[in-house]
Amino acid sequence: MADTRSDFSEVWSLYLWIGVGVAVLVFIAVGFALVRYRARPGRAPSRLAEHNAIEVGVATLILAIVALLVFRTFHTEAKEDDSARAGAVKIDVDAFQWGWKFTYPGQGVKVVGDSNHEPNFAVPAGRPISFALTSSDVIHAFWIPGQRFKKDAIPGRVNHFDMEFGAHGREQGLCSEFCGLRHSTMRFGVWVLSNESYERWLAAHK
Ligand SMILES: [Cu+2]
């Protein structure tokens, strides 16, 4: 897969442009009807109640747009749900009130942080990362706005998903499901590193 950000940016842009297109068509149709068919003295209202050809045309167009959006959304979503790829880096994420625990299974590495101390974990750029996400108390949501990605963290349930990070740098993550008093302080950071820096980071955190 391409990185998560570009996958979801494409879907986002598709929705945006279809939304803009539909809005323009609606405004033109309303404007045209207002001007062309406005009330004038001596003009009787139209008796036309239905027009099958136009109605079928509009219904077909709407169906086609819905089908396209549903297909593209599920297609992109499926790439991220396609978990446990060979060579993937595994990270277990546990959300709690109000913080995060990131564990690298089999590596002996764990990063924990809460409202007072924001946790930062690291991933290598350009490699699939298999996340296993859960919660210890209430429903939270794992959100990385820069990656256009969000997933619920649900107690008693593990959500598996894959991500792939492109550009090196730091991504800001946060909880996006209201989860109590200090919800707004429930943040985390992701360092997107080169493979060598990532290995060094891992070794330094054992
Ligand atoms: Cu939360």
By DSSP bridging, strand 140-144 and strand 109-114 are: unpaired
Over pLDDT 90: what percentage of the chain? 76
Q: Which CATH superfamily is domain 89-204 in?
A: Cupredoxins -  blue copper proteins (2.60.40.420)
CA 17 to centroid of ligand 1, rounded, Å? 32
Q: Would you tell me how many other CB atoms lie within 10 Å of the CB of residue 70?
A: 10
pLDDT tens digit string along 72-114? 999 988 888 766 667 789 999 999 999 999 999 989 999 999 9
Residue 28: what pLDDT? 97
Q: Please state which CATH class domain 4-81 belongs to.
A: mainly alpha
pLDDT value for 1: 57
Q: How far is the CA of 98 from the centre of ligand 1 (A)?
A: 6
Residue 197 has pLDDT above 60, yes or no: yes
Residues contacting residue 143 through CB under 8 Å, at least 6 positions apart? 149, 150, 173, 174, 175, 176
Nearest CA-CA partner of 5 in 126, 95, 122: 126
Q: Give the distance (Å) from ligand 1 centre to CA of residue 146.
A: 18
Q: Domain-by-domain residue ranges, the chain?
A: 4-81, 89-204
Band (37; pLDDT cuts 50, 70, 90): confident
